[in-house]
Amino acid sequence: MTQNFNGLRVASLESRRADDMARMITKFGGQACVSPSMREVPIEPNRPAIDFAYRVITGEIPIMILMTGVGFRYLLKTTEKHVDQQRFLDALSDITTICRGPKPAAVMKEFGLKPTHRVPEPNTWRELLTTIDEELPIANQVVGIQEYGVTNASLIAGLEARGAIPEPVRVYGWEYPEDTKPLEENVKELAAGNRDLLLFTSAHQVVNLFRMADSLNLTDALREGLRRTAIASIGPTTSDMLRESDLHVDMEPSHPKMGHLVSEAARDSADLVAQRRTQATPHHRIYTNASDVQRTPLPSIDDHPSQSSLFMKACRGEATERTPVWLMRQAGRYMQEYRDVRSQQTFLELCANPKLCSEVMCTAVDRLGVDAAIIFSDLLPILVPMGFDLEFVKGDGPVIHNPVRVAKDMDRVKALDNPQDLGFVYETVSQTRKDLPEGIPLIGFAGAPFTLASYAIEGGGSKQYAATKQLMRANDGGWAELMDRLTDAIIVYLNEQITAGAQCVQLFDSWAGCLSAADYTRFVLPWMQRIIAGVSPGVPLINFATGNPELLPLLRGDGRTVVGIDWRIDLASAWKRVGHDISVQGNLDPTVLLTDKPTIRAAAQDVLDQAAGRPGHIFNLGHGVMQTTPVENAIELVKAVQELSVRSE
């Protein structure tokens, strides 16, 4: 087969080797549309890198991972004026070093060093962890990581899961090229559909592509244009970023090299472009029934009777005979039974009583007739063993009397060293699982790290989150330290709930909507990725954030993640943004339950119509049941969904 683009317009965002890329595309008969999208910028001054080098010299870091060649050069350059370079190199020769691929190994060779281990192709974090598993024990060992640009949350989580203590050091970041006009032009042409193929050679190219589109107010147009453009990715790491950004990947080369990418894209270009244009036609984009969705359901992880429930099937992407339904805050103040129990003790006392927590939830499940139960608890008790003084004040809600505001305050934020400090929650899971019918799945939950952090910083609810954003942007390490400790605690907390009997877990990010997509990506997403990677494999995880529909593509996580959708966007648009290969939950406006039965039934039908019968939809409200909701209206909603969503044979 000939390897020729035959005049197709081939876009690339390659920077360091932009000229080489243009020559190769032209050599294979394409119209080269190459626009550098980023440049590596050293972090200067970089006190953490200097401290890192001293720790290597003094033997505090016995294992070091080198992720990139250019990063190793920057590390040496950044530290050379502050650390005796020969001592640093000698120390590196004495410790265990792991090179992610040939480039850091080549730079080590220039300085007379030889890596202890080299990661095989395609040199992703997965192969890196496999190499570690096969070659060296890392439990209880400090593992230094020379990062490239952004933290690899999956790698960090993988190291922690193996008992290591990761110590990342950033030595450079990625900014726009000094001349952004070619990139701007490529973004405009891609948005207009005037490119046939787009070649990605780096994961971060995806980030800067959308940063530029956002600055040009072309984000939606770019997504529409890319839907008609064939996309080739150099390898798994880049492909993961593309999919996380809600973009398709039409091909990867046989080897993660630029030459292979271009030559193999040229060889297959006619088919790639034809298939992409066919898939982009309206009759392929509009789903009318479940059979239109090409999705491989996930397997169940055990044989508990609830695994065959409608809810669990929908989480896994399986087709169901009708749509499962449950309601957030389905056991709450709108129910007289709950008010009767609540009147006898404070809210925190109720949360600490597993039998009463089970009673109020099982009562709600029985009265409403829902298809799933969620444990009765609250987002904030996890903060108590971490050193926060929490009180629920009548009329004011939760109040934290010792909030953290600056980096030095993190010294008093404790790790969740003893998970059994929250043993009453795990007992609630066990008791509720015991009291529920076996076929009803049980959902555990936790607050997401941003929401917990905002409570810990603001001391309660807030409208502007000024103190939270001030610490978030301070760039003094305080935000990262707080998010690290919360993330570690949440992973332990959710896994303990799963061990106690939960079939699914949900993260509630009640305040994430105060962030832009860019801020969420920078200040929240790395820790969310760590949580998703750290929760027991195969257990569905519902990621629910409210307030900003632009965050939806960032909530996708891995294949077992279900994206919760609030009421601020219609379900059809939301699911399109998330991607139809991911299950979703939502999203009726809770105020509809304050109306009448015909209105409730019509609103339920509208949400179901937007779901269009696709597998993977769980009906829920776009937030919790409101206190003034008549119980009869909640019952009517559940009944309506169960009747209206029955699939015809």
pLDDT score of 649: 56
Confidence class of residue 279 from pLDDT cuts 50, 70 and 90? low
What does the pLDDT average to over 307-327? Answer: 97
**Residues with Cβ within 8 Å of residue 299, at least 6 apart in sequence:** 316, 538
What does the pLDDT average to over 9-31? Answer: 95
What does the pLDDT average to over 159-187? Answer: 89
Q: Estimate the crossing angle of helix 153-161 against helix 525-534, to 10 degrees.
A: 40
Amino acid at 391: E
What does the pLDDT average to over 158-176? Answer: 86
Nearest residue to 337 (alpha-carbon basis) of 368, 359, 370: 359
589/270 Cα distance (integer angstroms):
46
pLDDT score of 244: 66
Active site residues: 329, 333, 342, 378, 455
Q: What are phi and psi of 461, to 5 degrees?
A: -70, 165
**Residues with Cβ within 8 Å of residue 497, at least 6 apart in sequence:** 375, 425, 426, 429, 444, 445, 446, 505
**Residues with Cβ within 8 Å of residue 301, at least 6 apart in sequence:** 307, 537, 538, 539
Place of tokens 């060093």: 113
Confidence class of residue 291 from pLDDT cuts 50, 70 and 90? very low
483/598 Cα distance (integer angstroms):
45
pLDDT score of 246: 75
Are 53 and 72 in contact by the 8 Å Cβ rule? The answer is no
Q: Is the pLDDT of residue 1 over 80?
A: no
Confidence class of residue 396 from pLDDT cuts 50, 70 and 90? low
pLDDT score of 287: 34
End-to-end CA distance of the chain: 46
587/618 Cα distance (integer angstroms):
9
pLDDT score of 312: 98
Q: In sequence order, which ranges of 323-422 are alpha helices (DSSP H)?
A: 336-342, 347-351, 354-368
Nearest residue to 360 (alpha-carbon basis) of 344, 376, 377, 378: 376
Query: What CA dihedral angle connects 467, 473, 477 and 478, to 10 degrees?
Result: 10
Place of tokens 């409208």: 463
Nearest residue to 148 (alpha-carbon basis) of 101, 194, 181: 101
Q: Is the pLDDT of residue 242 over 50?
A: yes
What does the pLDDT average to over 327-340? Answer: 94
Q: Is the pLDDT of residue 486 over 90?
A: yes
pLDDT score of 515: 92
As a whole number, the mean pLDDT across the chain is 91
> What's the pLDDT tens digit per position in 32-51?
999 999 887 777 788 899 99
Is the whole model's pTM more than 0.85, yes or no? no
pLDDT score of 290: 33
Determine how β-strand 165-169 pairs with β-strand 197-200. Answer: unpaired
Percent of the chain clearing pLDDT 70 (strictly above): 96
pLDDT score of 293: 43
Phi-psi region of 566 (alpha: psi -120 to 50; beta: other; left: phi over 0): beta
Are 112 and 80 in contact by the 8 Å Cβ rule? The answer is no
Q: What are phi and psi of 12, to 5 degrees?
A: -145, 150
The segment with the largest mean pLDDT, out of 253-262, 514-523, 620-629, is: 620-629
Confidence class of residue 282 from pLDDT cuts 50, 70 and 90? very low
Are 561 and 555 in contact by the 8 Å Cβ rule? The answer is yes
Q: How far is CA 392 from CA 376, 422, 445, 576, in A?
A: 16, 18, 19, 39
314/559 Cα distance (integer angstroms):
13
511/561 Cα distance (integer angstroms):
20
What does the pLDDT average to over 571-579? Answer: 92
446/236 Cα distance (integer angstroms):
31
CA 307 to chain centre: 24
Q: Is the pLDDT of residue 176 over 90?
A: no
What does the pLDDT average to over 218-232? Answer: 91
Confidence class of residue 289 from pLDDT cuts 50, 70 and 90? very low
> What's the pLDDT tens digit per position in 336-382?
999 999 988 988 899 999 999 999 999 999 999 999 999 999 999 99
Q: Report helix, strand and coil shares of the chain as percent, to nearest 5.
A: 50, 15, 40
pLDDT score of 237: 75
